[in-house]
Amino acid sequence: MNTDGRRRGGSRFDINQALRKDNVASKYGAPMGRPNRVSPLGVPKLYVQKVKFHDGDYDAGGAYWGGVPALPLYCGMTEDGEIRIFVRARSRAAAYRSILKTLEETPT
């Protein structure tokens, strides 16, 4: 898992940009959060970043996450978006540990 979000060559995968491309807003409103996507194929290379909110409670793609939470929201995601795990944590390091635990608990 890439803990700093950087690939070789110094370019950076941006989870918030990926969420923006996966717009879930509709004329009926926004869904509550987003589902996790996991794989039984082992631990892949994930990027872990803090999710930025717009208009207070919405991610860049329009999903609603509820009022001001006590803990920031982090996302671990593969570049292709096939695996995506959301956790609330005090720090990026704590989010990383929680995401690993979620992956380890995924049935194979």
pTM of the model: 0.68
pLDDT at 80 over 90: no
The token duo for 27 is 């004329």
The confidence score (pLDDT) of residue 66 equals 83
Q: Hey, where are the domains in the chain?
A: 15-105
State pLDDT tens for residues 20-42: 888 887 877 777 777 777 665 66
What does 47-81 look like in DSSP terms, one character per residue? EEEEPPPBTTTB-TTS-B--S--SS-EEEEE-TTS
The confidence score (pLDDT) of residue 29 equals 78
